[in-house]
Amino acid sequence: MRPELVAKYRAQRVPRYTSYPPSPHFTPDVDSAAYADWLAELKPDTTLSLYLHVPFCRSMCWYCGCHTTVVPHDGPVKSYLAHLAMEAETVAALMPAGPRVTHLHFGGGTPTLMPPGEFVRLMTTLRKVYSFAPDAECAVEIDPRTLTDCMPTALAAGGINRASLGVQSFDPRVQQAINRIQTPERTAEAVAALRRAGIRAINFDLLYGLPHQTVESCVETVRTALAMNPDRLSVFGYAHMPGFKAHQNRIDESTLPDADARMAQNQGIEETLLAEGYIRIGLDHFARPDDPIASAASQGRLRRNFQGYTTDDADALIGLGASAIGRLPQGFVANIVPVPGYQKAVAAGGLAVGRGFRLSAEDRLRSDVIEQLMCNFTVDVADYGVRHPAGLSGLLPKAESLAELERDGLIRLDGTRLTVPDEAKPLVRSVAALFDSYLDPESGRHSKAI
């Protein structure tokens, strides 16, 4: 990317567009009563995706932007899981008979802090109250440092068939600076244990833009990771937002790479992965050519949700647990964030919605356009303009905004088709922001474009 573009867009703050509108726009106007009505309105042939949030860790990684709490023992985890099961049962009872689960994802936090027996019990409950498709993808996020010897067997027994392991960086100096000491050997042991248990699909999460990171250390981390033969890798840029996550204040800002260095790190990672035969998926994922997500991308079936790029094309996403977000045809629902408040709400009524967003017809259209851009880097706006009340003119961004991005090389225009060229793909979020009618660039609530 040309240096002048990095200089121009480096400070721009834009959403990740894992949802539209982004979650900061959710309001308390959508509550548990509205959610109950929405669940009752689902059709019997609806396909479901379940997301279960487990907000606990054994230690805090200072880069973390997730909702999680450090717990030294399993007591709070067991109490939380009882409420999680209660919420799952309530949600299932409010839906009509017939919806089928095609995807399940455990996120966190560290979901594998669940005691093995408790995890199997929870999965038994889920399969009792929900109908699972025989080929449902069931995934879990794992911190290799805390994965016990017996947990892989329990995961497989519960039906888990994909595991996503947090790696971030294997550079010891970087690990020290982010409070996450994780050796390649421990990571490799976790991968081997998962595969022995029958969990063959392995994802790795990597970060660039961390304190003390260099292009060389990023590339070395990738090479070390590739020796373990992951099927997919997610490569995210670290978002330093200590105003939202106080523990990020423990990171010395003077050790963070600047925008030019971040771009170089991202490029070094990408070039290494492409040279080893991985295919770039969307903005920040890479996969082996035979992985399902690579097939989805090549066939135009790639989707984007709160877990990033995915093959998940379910009609409704059911979020379970504190801070979990779901999406139904009518809109978004987000659960109460603090664990005590979540558990109190579930115990009182079975649901724990804290806020949400009711989608309009225009919201759905803009969401589709933004998802097309984020997944495929091209969209013909005319295809959506015919469904917009104001026609194409009501959906197209201002002419001067389009002209500026075209001059900068971020887009190419061919009639009503907008395409992001290869060299500008790292800035696709800035292009998607053209269609965001809620964007407040001065809010500071989003991560930097670079």
The per-residue pLDDT for 444 is 56
**CATH number of this structure's domain 1-17+360-450, picked from the four choices 1.10.3720.10, 1.20.120.430, 1.10.10.920, 1.10.287.130:** 1.10.10.920
3-state helix/strand/coil string of 82-111: HHHHHHHHHHHHHCCCCCEEEEEEEEECCH
- For residue 305, give the nearest of 14, 18, 22, 21 by alpha carbon: 18
Question: For the segment 179-211, what is each residue's pLDDT rounded down to a tens digit?
Answer: 999 999 999 999 999 999 999 999 999 999 999
pLDDT at 19 over 90: yes
Work out the angle between the directed axes of helices 259-275 and 215-226 (0-180°, nearest 10): 30
Question: For the segment 56-103, what is each residue's pLDDT rounded down to a tens digit?
Answer: 999 999 999 899 999 999 999 999 999 999 999 999 999 999 999 999
The per-residue pLDDT for 441 is 66
Question: For the segment 159-173, what is each residue's pLDDT rounded down to a tens digit?
Answer: 999 999 999 999 999
What residues have CB less than 8 Å from 383, skipping those under 6 apart?
none
List phi, psi (to 5°) of 76: -60, -30
User: pLDDT confidence of 448, banded at 50, 70, 90?
Assistant: low
Alpha-carbon distance of 113 to 424, in angstroms, equals 40
pLDDT at 130 over 60: yes
Question: For the segment 398-434, what is each residue's pLDDT rounded down to a tens digit?
Answer: 889 999 999 999 999 999 999 999 989 989 999 999 9
Question: For the segment 22-61, what is each residue's pLDDT rounded down to a tens digit?
Answer: 999 999 999 999 999 999 999 999 999 999 999 999 999 9
Helix or strand holding residue 237 (H, E): strand 232-237
- Three-class SS of residue 195? helix
Alpha-carbon distance of 5 to 8, in angstroms, equals 5
Quick check: 30 and 356 in contact, CB under 8 A?
yes
Instruction: Give the homologous superfamily in CATH for domain 18-358.
Output: tm_1862 like domain (3.80.30.20)
Per-domain boundaries in the chain = 1-17+360-450, 18-358
